[in-house]
Structure 1
Amino acid sequence: MELSPTAGATTAIDMRMTVNSTMSLDGQEAPSTPTPTMIMGMTLTVDDVTDDEITMSVTYDRVEVEGGDPTLQGLLDSMVGITGTVTTTRSGAFVDGKMDTSGVDPTLAPTMQQIDSQLANLTVPLPTEPVGAGATWEVATALDSQGFAFCNTFSYTLTSFDGDAYELAVETVQHAEPTTIEQGGASVELIEGSGSGTGTTGGRLSFPIAVSGSTDSNTSIAMAVDDGSTEQTLEMDMAIQMELSPRE
């Protein structure tokens, strides 16, 4: 299932993402503020196609928040115009991604990390050999987030394929490696981190990323934070719903 895009090919997609999180400190649940749904639009253009890799440019051209919060929308407006590049293999596996976030409000750093992660997940590592509907395969990837190492295992099932257009069912399992980092003058020990998700994704061999799909994922993290005078245990649960659709 080798990708066969043409340099200059372009598409526009919209990503709708809802994040709900809860947090507790030393067993006491902290007050949580509902996070409004974000809609992010991007255009992607195939810049170069070699025998081994495909390089695309990405431009975020739409960032909106549901609910009409003017303060939050004002922050998100700084994301419009962000550009970057994404590189995949000819079979769709993610190789590298770089986003220029120099003009983004610093308070949006966590949001940008989530978006970068979702952007990488738009790439679909396909089997290198010919397969048909019903085929299954697994791919393991590593992700570094704020100094912590996560291992993701994706299980794919090819539900339909007509020679160009494909549809996949996807299951994800995530595991974090226990580690300790120094952050803001404090020692942060990642005690445990795990997650899972299910969803669907679809695209064509004639373009190197998925253009439709939806996922529901849940992540749980437990950390011990020591600032030199006190040590506290922080636990956080996060649920993310993401929908991807081609722009009409």
Structure 2
Amino acid sequence: MNNEFMTRRSRSFGLWGGAPFILQWLKILFVALALAWAGATQADTADDEYLRIYDLIQKADALSSNAPPATAVAKYREVYGLLQAFQRANPQWNSRLVATRLQYLAARVHELSQPVPAPEEPKAAARPETASGGRPSASTSEFQVKVLDAGVEPRKVLRLQPKGGDRQSAVLTMKLGMETKVGEAQTPALKLPALRMTMDVTIKEVGPAGDIRYEMVLGDAQVLDEADAMPGIVDAIKQALAGSKGATGTGTITSRGLNRALDFKSAAGAEPQMRQVMDQMKETFANFAPALPEEAVGPGAKWEVRMPFKSQGLKLDQTATYQLVSIEGERVQVRSSIMQQASNQKMENPAMPGLKMDLSNMSGRGNGQVAFNLTQMLPEKAEMDLQSEFAMSMNMGGQKQAMTMKMGMKTSLESKPR
């Protein structure tokens, strides 16, 4: 069976809606998961050999992006031959997965061998650039913020108020587990090692209207709980995360925490596939701050944030509800709950380019809490527990294969001024 798939992200209460972070890191974890799923009933030697071949596929994909087509074609053909030899030597090893990969390699050779079409004429209008030089990753008008209960007196207008030159350091930790079912075959629950990432944020400028322009630098990324992980997973994840250190981002958010733009750049010398992953993580890092209401609110206040979201072919409706627990000076504590729903649509399979998946239903529920200081951009402390379930199908060799995936994630962030 072929479990070589992942789903995409959604947007939520900054990082703490959970789904953006789950689905972006799943892209990074994919190499490790492919080994874990495909090799659950096979010998370690076959697993290791397939993982080496898969790494070569990734390198061929990278060449197709930054090298002449002939170079990439030669690499794809080389890997195709290796995978054919692997198939002959291991005929019982996940035959569908191997066959699908062979089809993918053949398709890439065919595509890159075609004549290059003449360039198109420039379009009259282009997507607007932002003041920071990056493309806007979301329009603030897409957020619908509605106060359900203004709370008790005294009430206060909540606005982020950092100053130019302020700096924060943060530690982000994520623990994720998942279960998958393909047809009637239930795979064992997969326990993934926890991930921890550090980052530094500097406020570059605060505009007259309160817009906050900032710069972010990613630090070390660590894999925790190594003893509990399946063989091969830890090394694969470490390799995938190696290129994240030194990546930088420049962005702009409003004083209400609504994202205007974010331009993310990977570290110098990073592998091409890591640069692609960092680009896909824009949506995750675009919304660290909470979405605050326009009106003044007091303790006990509740507000709702609705946002239809579309990314990489996934359309999702999301509703997040927040309750203001307390206000002490500039320090605010908030409880949050989130509901996500998507159904009846086709979406891209990020693990296998060009392969469409049919999503019949996706639902997610989560709860969390955030403590933040209005004089800082990042929360001082935040926690989120999210459970998501996906029901989908994929065409495998002319047959439609049903799949379900359940994911649970716990995320925490702690930050402090520097």
Judge same fold: TM > 0.5, yes or no: yes
Matched to 2:163, the amino acid is: T
Q: 1:186, 1:227 within 8 Å by CA — same for their partners in 2? A: no
Query: Taking every aligned residue pair, what percent have the same amino acid on both sides?
Result: 24
Shift of 1:239: 0.6
Counterpart of 1:74 in 2: which secondary structure? Answer: helix
Aligned to 2:225: 67
Contact 1:185 1:227 (8 Å CA) reproduced: no
Query: Could you tell me how far apart the structure 2 residues matched to 1:9 and 1:111 are?
Result: 25
Aligned: 1:21 with 2:190: no
CA positional deviation for 1:55: 2.0
Look up the match of 1:235.
404
Match of 1:147 in 2: 313
Cα 1:116–1:238 change in 2 (3 A) is farther
8 Å contact from structure 1 (residues 79, 104) kept in 2 = no
Q: Which has the higher strand share?
A: 1
Aligned partner of 1:96 in structure 2 is 261
1:192 equivalent in structure 2: 361
Residue deviations 1:174-216, cap 9 Å, x none?
1124311455343311110110100101111112232311110
The CA distance in 1 between the partners of 2:360 and 2:188, in whole Å, is 23
2:390 corresponds to 1:225: no
TM-score by length of 1: 0.88
In the TM superposition, what whole-angstrom CA distance separates every residue of 1:114-157 from its partner, at most 9, and x where no partner exists?
x6555345220112222211111011234434321222211111
- Whole-Å Cα distance in 1 between the matches of residues 356 and 273 of structure 2? 22
Partner of 1:106: 273
Would the aligned equivalents of 2:162 and 2:375 in 1 still touch at CA under 8 Å? yes
Q: How big is each residue's C-alpha offset from its partner over 1:220-247, in whole Å with a ceiling of 9 and x where there is no partner?
A: 1111212561211111111110011125
What stretches of structure 2 of length at least 5 have no aligned partner?
A: 1-157, 227-233
Q: Answer yes or no: is 1:137 the counterpart of 2:303.
A: yes
Is residue 3 from structure 1 mapped to residue 160 from structure 2 by the alignment?
yes
* Closer/same/farther in 2, CA of residues 163 and 200 from structure 1, 3 Å limit: same
Contact 1:219-1:238 at 8 Å conserved across structures: yes
Partner AA of 1:35 in structure 2:
L
Gaps of 5+ in 1: none
Q: Which has a greater percent of helix?
A: 2
Change (3 A) 1:224 1:155: same
Please identify the structure whose Cα radius of gyration is greater. Answer: 2
RMSD: 2.6
